[in-house]
Structure 1
Amino acid sequence: MPRPRSLTHAQIADAALAVLDRDGLAGLTMRAVGAQLGTSTMGLYRYVADRDELEALVVERVLDRVDTRPPLDVPWPDGVRELSGRVRRAVGTHPAVVPLLPAHRHRSPAILRWGEAVLAVLTRAGFTGTGRVVAFRALLGYVVGAIQMEHLGALAGPGTAVIATLPRDEFPLLAETAREAGAVGPEDEFGGGLDLLLDGLTRRLDT
């Protein structure tokens, strides 16, 4: 009987990503990934302890493609914009991974390297101590949250369309804002929100 072939974590992550792209998060099972690899479910457990570890491998596979080198010779807000855009673009190629980001980002070496790059940009700008903590957490929260909103609750999605039909006598501003949201593209939404945050951080730095 032939010996089962060895698998690498990269191969397993690629197979899981293929399943995730094709079948969504609900379809990401050990059985489905094993079938994608041409091995049994029990055979896959030789390399991956459980579904949680499988998800972490997928998240890292996507984020590992992010260039985490700090941009040089640019104003610090532009450096933050560039680093933030890199994460958004990488995740955007595999949007089904978005729900897994909050749970597994702490375990991703790639996102840790990204965080170090963002902190390097903030430090060069003059952020220190508590101010740097708050600035970093605000940026991280914005990037992760904005990516989730873009793919799980897009402005052009059904949720916005429903809000636009709310009774105007009870929810006039919500309904009006939802109708206006149709003219806002994802690039403008992400970039505009990030600009607001960076403007606030700049004012704090200048005080």
Structure 2
Amino acid sequence: MPRPRSLSADQLVGAALAVVDRDGLSALTMRAVARELGVATMGLYRYVADRQALEVLVVDHVFRSVDLDLPDGPWQDKIRVLLDRVRVAVARHPGLVPLVLRHRQAAPSSLRLIETMLAVLTDAGLSGTDRVVAQRTLVGYLLGFLQNEHFAALSGPGTIVLSELPADEYPLLARTATDARAVPPDEEFRRGLGIVLRGLTAT
């Protein structure tokens, strides 16, 4: 019997991404990835222990694609560049957003990204609990935005429904939803992050 062909981590990730991009996150199974690669399902267990390990491998790939070499300039600009690069990396495979939230602390490349962010905050003069809160606030904004952008976009049907609510009963909600439909994702991200950074600067 011929020996099963060797697979690289990049091949495993590529197959998993192909499944998610085509069929959605719910379709990501060991069997589906094996089928994508043209190998027996049990053969995958030579490379990853289970689906969770495969998910971590995929999330690590996403974070590894983020360029951590930041330009010179004010610390706020460095944070803007870094978080926007993460946003762009995730947007290439939006179906992975739940996995990014679930495994961000298990992926080695995510840890390097956080270390880079902490270095920027340290250079800005933050330390101790101030640095803890600043880092957690920035990550919270980023993760919340990713969920909004890909599962509750301002251009999506939810905003349309809200904008059509009866104005006599929900005047502010209906008006705000109508205004929201004119805000593109890039502007929403930039302006929201600006609010967060101004708050961090003030503290």
Contact 1:29 1:51 in 2 (8 A): yes
- 1:9, distance to aligned residue in structure 2 (A): 2.1
- 1:170, distance to aligned residue in structure 2 (A): 2.5
Corresponding residue of 2:43: 43
Corresponding residue of 2:55: 55
Distance 1:104 1:171 in 2: 39
TM-score (norm 2): 0.96
SS of the counterpart of 1:170? coil
* Deviation readout 1:84-137 (Å, 9 max, x if unpaired): 111011111111111211110001111111111111111111111111111110
Q: What code does the residue aligned with 1:83 have?
A: L
Pairs aligned (count): 203
Contact 2:71 2:78 in 1 (8 A): yes
* Deviation readout 1:118-177 (Å, 9 max, x if unpaired): 111111111111111111100011011111110111100111111112222232211111
Trace 1:107-126 onto structure 2 (pairs within 5 A). Answer: 107-126=106-125
Distance 2:97 2:125 in 1: 32
Corresponding residue of 1:150: 149
Q: What code does the residue aligned with 2:124 have?
A: A
Corresponding residue of 1:84: 83
Q: What code does the residue aligned with 2:129 have?
A: T
Q: What code does the residue aligned with 1:14 have?
A: G
Instruction: Give me the CA root mean square deviation.
Output: 1.1
Corresponding residue of 2:12: 12
Q: What code does the residue aligned with 1:201 have?
A: L
SS of the counterpart of 1:63? helix
Trace 1:57-206 onto structure 2 (pairs within 5 A). Answer: 57-69=57-69, 71-204=70-203
> Percent of counterpart pairs with the same letter?
58
Distance 1:11 1:49 in 2: 16
- 1:10, distance to aligned residue in structure 2 (A): 2.1
Distance 1:46 1:110 in 2: 23
- 1:72, distance to aligned residue in structure 2 (A): 4.5
Contact 2:117 2:135 in 1 (8 A): yes
Contact 1:72 1:79 in 2 (8 A): yes
SS of the counterpart of 2:105? helix
Q: Which runs of 4+ in 1 moved over 3 A?
A: none
Corresponding residue of 2:33: 33
Contact 2:63 2:113 in 1 (8 A): no
TM-score (norm 1): 0.94
Contact 1:14 1:61 in 2 (8 A): no
Distance 2:168 2:60 in 1: 48
Contact 2:134 2:200 in 1 (8 A): yes
Contact 1:31 1:41 in 2 (8 A): yes
